[in-house]
Amino acid sequence: MVKQLLKAPDGPPSDVERIKIESNYLRGTLKESLLEPLSSGISDDDNRLMKFHGSYLQDDRDLRNERQKQKLEPAYQFMLRVRLPGGVASPDQWLTMDELAQRNGNGTLKLTTRQTFQMHGILKWNMRDTIQTIHKSLMDTIAACGDVNRNVMCISNPYQSEIHEEVYEWSKRLSNDLLPRTRAYHEIWLDEEMVAGTPDVDEVEPMYGPLYLPRKFKIGIAIPPQNDIDVFSQDLGFIAIVENDKLIGFNVAIGGGMGMTHGDKATYPQLSKVIGFCTPDKLYEIAEKTITIQRDYGNRSERKNARFKYTVDRLGLEVVKEELEKRLGWKLAEAKPFKFESNGDRYGWVNGVRGKWHFNLFVEGGRIADFDDYKLMTGLREIAKVHDGEFRLTANQNVIIANVSTQKKKQISELIEQYGLTDGKHYSALRRNSMACVALPTCGLAMAEAERYLPTLIDKIEEIVDENGLREEEITIRMTGCPNGCARHTLGEIAFIGKAPGKYNMYLGAAFDGSRLSKIYRENIGEQEILAELRVLLARFAKEKYDGEHFGDFVVRVGIVEAVTDGTNFHD
Ligand code: SRM
Ligand code: SF4
């Protein structure tokens, strides 16, 4: 019965499946393409494979039209994403990324919504040097993109308890053990000799097989009450259960994801559902078996419907759970109670365990750069030179200068002050709870601005916030340049999704703790309409909200938007 139900949808495999199978385990002709001197780009097929190595070919979209007019090849450049489980980087690793951004990138770093570094603007000729330098610094870019398990996220607030360290170790182990086994990366980028002959399939990729997954796969671990990683947006989420200060295990949640396509109801954001509980020693087994279910039954024909969330919704939660238990050979225990409170960060200095201090810095849009009046990149570089703890990249695109000893705190505080590095406390709580994806000029899929525009939009929203006495009111606001949802758009209590240059769909009503999606409120509106809408909504919120009520809950309670109870009714 289960077998029958679990049949993958019919239809010819997508072209990406052909590229994967012909690639000899992600090698393709990448090595040759990189050496090809006539173009600064690479072929489409190789670009597909490049993603598995953590990189995308892009072009500078600010220059696209001009170059087209001049009949020049697009201004090709590469984006490179590091695999950094749980977002933890040593000071040396920070300095490596900083130095590479100056040497081979566009002089900035992007802290991503999945707790890692991205560099933009790398020329083809500099890719090997960049990856080799990252490798020497004990990081890599393997599987940072592509149809595989991605960077494993982990709650980034080390002050909570020693359990954080235990949970972080799990995220590292999952990330490492779920990596593809092919040596393609080492051969192409690190000069390892090619394996001779045709290796046995099972030997090369015992879990993924030669086709890898139908689509990307994402895992994250949260510790209630903090849901900074938006655990329900993950394909597979683990919710740590702590009793008497001991980690007793994890609730397991499956089938989340944010991506959709405007106007296509067969695509939708979805939140994962909790299917049971397991002890910590079972974590890897669960991840592995869940991935193999998606490997075997995910849609390989239509990439828009290939994520695990669609597999789960198509087959039914119970069927997938049954199949998982069959593959495990044992049953999940009943899920344990848990309660999340927020999905944001806690800014400023916080005292953690063993007398260590942590400073959560606010990084608007996750962009580390030296701005005219704010030398953020230099300030962090100077801190990295003296810091002996670590940097923790948060899922909200911020960074925590973590594990600072009491002796070092004075020195680091002075540097924070010298460079004016901000914990965001002089901004509105709305800005502190904002996120924007990269979008223009590098993202090839962007329909509108996000990272470059949200700060100025917030300048104007802050005026409305102030008029209504809401400066310290925590409201999550997120913007993406397209519906793919890289800033986990529909989990923002206020969300803007790019439709066209200067035009956005506006969504409202997500839960502050990341447990409910937002709903469409207005379509295709520009700045004036956005501000006019918010003027009315925020004034009403200030007057009518209950004590402690969050904006997302308010707009649902008073009927401004309907609550989204499941991703499958997101578009209703
Ligand atoms: Fe994303 C594609 C940037 C987190 C959903 N994402 C892209 C690409 C690679 C564009 C492309 O395919 O050509 C973007 C590169 C832009 C650039 O110039 O750098 C891009 N995604 C990002 C980052 C850098 C946004 C950021 O500002 O931080 C995030 C990097 C995460 C990382 O470190 O691994 C990023 N992307 C996400 C998230 C959030 C998350 O994972 O928590 C999502 C929503 C969750 C999910 O996956 O469902 C997300 N990105 C997508 C999608 C839609 C996938 C889908 O299911 O439909 C695409 C498009 C695709 O895969 O076809 C995409
Ligand atoms: Fe690009 Fe869209 Fe992702 Fe933004 S949400 S980075 S525009 S793919």
pLDDT in tens, 533-564: 999 999 999 999 999 999 999 999 999 999 99
In the 8-state DSSP scheme, what is residue 333?
B
What pLDDT score was predicted for residue 501?
Answer: 98
Angle between helices 44-52 and 15-22 (to 10 degrees): 70
Q: Which residue has the higher pLDDT, 193 or 218?
A: 218
Q: Which helix (H) or strand (E) holds 518?
A: none
Concerning whether 145 is annotated as a catalytic residue, the answer is no
What pLDDT score was predicted for residue 354?
Answer: 85
* pLDDT band for position 11 (cuts 50, 70, 90): confident
What pLDDT score was predicted for residue 53?
Answer: 98
What pLDDT score was predicted for residue 4?
Answer: 39
Q: Rounded to whole angstroms, how far apart are CA atoms 313 and 570?
A: 14
Ligand 2 centroid vs 300 CA: distance in angstroms? 23
* pLDDT band for position 338 (cuts 50, 70, 90): very high
Long-range contacts of 525-532 (CB under 8 A, 24+ apart): 526/502, 527/457, 527/460, 527/502, 530/457, 530/496, 530/504, 530/506, 531/460, 531/461, 531/464
Concerning whether 150 is annotated as a catalytic residue, the answer is yes
Kindly tell me if the per-residue pLDDT of 353 is higher than 90: no
Mean pLDDT value of segment 406-434 = 97
In the 8-state DSSP scheme, what is residue 148?
S
Kindly tell me if the per-residue pLDDT of 1 is higher than 60: no
The mean pLDDT value of the chain amounts to 95
Q: Rounded to whole angstroms, how far apart are CA atoms 303 and 19?
A: 14
Question: Among candidates 338, 346, 114, 344, which has minimal Cα distance to 238?
Answer: 338
Which atom of ligand 2 sits closest to the CA of residue 482?
2
* pLDDT band for position 157 (cuts 50, 70, 90): confident
pLDDT tens per residue, range 95-137: 999 999 999 999 999 999 999 999 999 999 999 999 999 999 9
Q: Is the CB of 486 under 6 A from ligand 1?
A: yes
Mean pLDDT value of segment 34-44 = 92
Quick check: 132 and 141 in contact, CB under 8 A? no
* pLDDT band for position 336 (cuts 50, 70, 90): very high
Q: Is the CB of 175 under 6 A from ligand 1?
A: no
Q: Rounded to whole angstroms, how far apart are CA atoms 17 and 211?
A: 6
What pLDDT score was predicted for residue 201?
Answer: 52
How many angstroms separate the Cα of 116 from the Cα of each of 93, 174, 221, 506?
A: 12, 16, 15, 28
Mean pLDDT value of segment 445-469 = 98
Q: Which residue has the tokens 């904002």?
A: 434
Looking at the chain, the whole-number percentage of residues with pLDDT higher than 70 is 96
What pLDDT score was predicted for residue 68?
Answer: 86
Q: Rounded to whole angstroms, how far apart are CA atoms 82 and 101?
A: 13
Query: 506 is written with which tokens?
Result: 């506006």
Find all residues with CB under 8 Å of 478, minimum gap 6, and list them: 434, 435, 436, 487, 488, 489, 491, 492, 494, 495, 496
Task: Encode burial over 126-162: b for 16+ CB neighbours within 10 A, e otherwise.
Answer: bbbebbebbbebebbbbbbbbbbbbbbbbbbbbbbbe
Which residue among the candidates 20, 437, 499, 519 is catalytic per the annotation? 437
Mean pLDDT value of segment 263-274 = 97
Mean pLDDT value of segment 261-270 = 97
Could you tell me how far CA 318 lies from the centroid of its own chain? 28
Phi, psi of 201 (to 5 degrees): -55, -50
Q: Is the CB of 112 under 6 A from ligand 1?
A: yes
Which atom of ligand 2 sits closest to the CA of residue 438?
6
Find all residues with CB under 8 Å of 66, minimum gap 6, and list them: none
Beta strands in 193-235 (DSSP E): 219-222
Kindly tell me if the per-residue pLDDT of 160 is higher than 70: no
Mean pLDDT value of segment 379-404 = 97
18-22, 163-167, 413-417 — which is least confidently predicted? 163-167
Quick check: 479 and 494 in contact, CB under 8 A? no
What pLDDT score was predicted for residue 162?
Answer: 82
What pLDDT score was predicted for residue 3?
Answer: 40
Find all residues with CB under 8 Å of 180, minimum gap 6, and list them: 25, 26, 52, 142, 143, 148, 205, 208, 212
pLDDT tens per residue, range 477-521: 999 999 999 999 999 999 999 999 999 999 999 999 999 999 999
Concerning whether 289 is annotated as a catalytic residue, the answer is no
Which residue among the candidates 478, 482, 488, 516 is catalytic per the annotation? 482
Could you tell me how far CA 515 lies from the centroid of its own chain? 17
pLDDT tens per residue, range 286-295: 999 999 999 9
Quick check: 258 and 269 in contact, CB under 8 A? yes
- Counting DSSP H helices and E strands in the chain, the numbers are 19, 22
Mean pLDDT value of segment 304-310 = 97
| Rg of the chain over all Cα atoms, to the nearest angstrom | 23
Quick check: 5 and 297 in contact, CB under 8 A? no
Which residues, in sequence order, are bridge partners of residue 399?
Answer: 361, 393
Secondary structure of residue 570 in the 3-state scheme: coil
